[in-house]
Every structure is written in structure tokens, then in C-alpha cells.
């Protein structure tokens, strides 16, 4: 059984990154922009490790991939620290402060009320809406490079919370949904249509509608 985290290796990690930036020519030459591709690659490898762990029950590979992902966080923080902008301490302090603000049911005055996950999420959204600048479009703040399926899911969620409820299809299981999505991809291939682009165009039609209104932002 693993012991509770002490935080000491994270402190050591700061020193390791500083030394690598000072003594390794390749790492010293990197910038935020040059590291972007590696952040994307490590993210996808982490997601793959999650899928593998869920299938096999062996989560050791996820541990390794999380380390690679953490390296990217520390790498960017080391670059910013050298410029006198901010450090990994500032990154950690910012997220701690955010979590305390947006989880008053944990860090605020105890009320004894037991909240559902849906109520907790609604509180998070309400507090985030106050903190973030008001959006003028439902897609504001959504990275355009998101995979089309994830992009569509986020847009539909925002439209729903803005009062534009989509017609609800019959319920289906995860397996049924996966099979249906696969069938649609196969249909696109047969018709010579790129399903990724087709979905982006369909989402754009929804967001370009005159009735489009901004909704609450999504978590994180």
C-alpha cells in the first residue's frame, strides 16, 4: 500500500528542472511554443493509459504517463520562472485558491446540507460565471482545436444551459452509442465525407443561429 503523499519529490522535481534548463542544451533551448506538441502528445498518451487501465485493471502505466505529463507542467513553469514571471509555486497557489473558492460546500462554513453532484456542479458554474468575463458567443473560450466530438458536446451543454434545449433522443447505453457513432463514421467513409469536419460544420450551424446566447462556462 502506497503511503500518503509527502510533497518532497515535487520539491526535488523543481531542482531537477532548474538544473536541466541550465545544463542540458536541448532543454535550455525550449520555449512554451516549442513544447506545445509534447504537451499534446503526452496528453493523448495519458488518455490511452487510462483506457488500458480500465480494460486491464493495471494502472502502473498511467502512473508513468502522469509523470510525463507532470514534466510538461514543471517545464513550462521553469521557463516562466527564469523570466521572472511566475513559478510552479504560483501555479499551485492559483489552483488551490480556485478550488477553495469554487467548493464552498467543502471549504466554506459548514451547513450540514448534503449536496448532489449536480448541485455541486451548478455551484461551481455559478461562481465561475462571476469570475470569468461575460461571453458574447457560446463558443467563447472553447479551444478550436478540440476534437469535433468533444467540441460538439461542450457546445450542446452550453446551449442547453443558455435555454436552447435540444430535442432529447431515446436513451441508449454506452455500448449502443459507441456502435451508432461507429456506424456514422462508416457511413461517412462510404460517402466520401470527413466525419470530423462534417460534425464541426453542423456545430457551427447551431452556434451561428440568431438565437444563440452565451451560457455558463464549463468546469475547470
Mean pLDDT of 168-181: 90
**Residue with more model confidence, 216 or 166:** 166
pTM assigned to the model: 0.70
Q: pLDDT for 179-218, tens place per residue? A: 999 999 999 999 999 999 999 999 988 887 543 333 334 4
Count of alpha carbons within 13 Å of 161, Cβ hemisphere only?
A: 17
- Burial string for 149-171 (b: 16+ CB within 10 Å, else e) reads eebbebbbebbebbebeeeeeee
pLDDT, residue 68, reads 97
pLDDT at 177 over 80: yes
Mean pLDDT of 168-177: 89
DSSP string, 152-220: HHHHHHHHHHTT-PPPPPPP--HHHHHHHHHHHHHHHHHHT--HHHHHHHHHHHHHTSTT----PPPP-
Q: pLDDT for 24-78, tens place per residue? A: 999 999 999 999 999 999 999 999 999 999 999 999 999 999 999 999 999 999 9
Q: Do the beta carbons of residue 87 and residue 42 sit within 8 Å?
A: no
Mean pLDDT of 124-137: 74
Q: Do the beta carbons of residue 175 and residue 183 sit within 8 Å?
A: no
pLDDT, residue 215, reads 38
Amino acid at each position: 500500500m502506497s503511503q500518503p503523499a509527502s510533497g518532497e519529490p515535487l520539491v526535488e522535481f523543481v531542482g531537477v528542472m532548474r538544473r536541466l534548463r541550465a545544463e542540458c542544451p536541448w532543454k535550455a533551448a525550449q520555449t512554451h511554443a516549442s513544447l506545445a506538441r509534447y504537451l499534446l502528445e503526452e496528453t493523448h498518451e495519458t488518455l490511452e493509459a487510462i483506457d488500458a487501465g480500465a480494460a486491464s485493471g493495471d494502472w502502473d502505466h498511467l502512473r508513468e504517463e502522469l509523470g510525463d505529463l507532470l514534466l510538461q507542467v514543471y517545464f513550462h513553469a521553469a521557463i516562466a520562472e527564469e523570466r521572472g514571471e511566475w513559478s510552479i509555486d504560483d501555479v499551485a497557489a492559483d489552483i488551490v485558491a480556485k478550488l477553495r473558492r469554487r467548493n464552498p460546500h467543502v471549504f466554506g462554513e459548514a451547513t450540514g446540507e448534503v449536496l448532489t453532484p449536480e448541485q455541486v456542479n451548478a455551484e461551481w458554474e455559478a461562481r465561475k460565471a462571476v469570475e470569468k468575463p461575460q461571453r458574447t458567443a457560446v463558443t467563447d473560450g472553447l479551444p478550436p482545436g478540440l476534437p469535433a466530438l468533444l467540441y460538439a458536446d461542450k457546445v450542446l451543454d452550453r446551449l442547453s444551459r443558455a435555454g436552447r434545449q435540444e430535442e432529447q433522443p431515446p436513451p441508449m447505453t454506452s455500448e449502443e452509442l459507441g456502435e451508432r457513432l461507429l456506424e456514422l463514421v462508416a457511413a461517412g467513409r462510404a460517402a466520401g465525407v470527413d466525419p470530423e469536419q462534417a460534425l464541426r460544420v453542423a456545430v457551427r450551424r447551431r452556434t451561428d443561429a440568431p438565437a444563440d446566447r452565451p451560457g455558463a462556462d464549463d468546469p475547470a
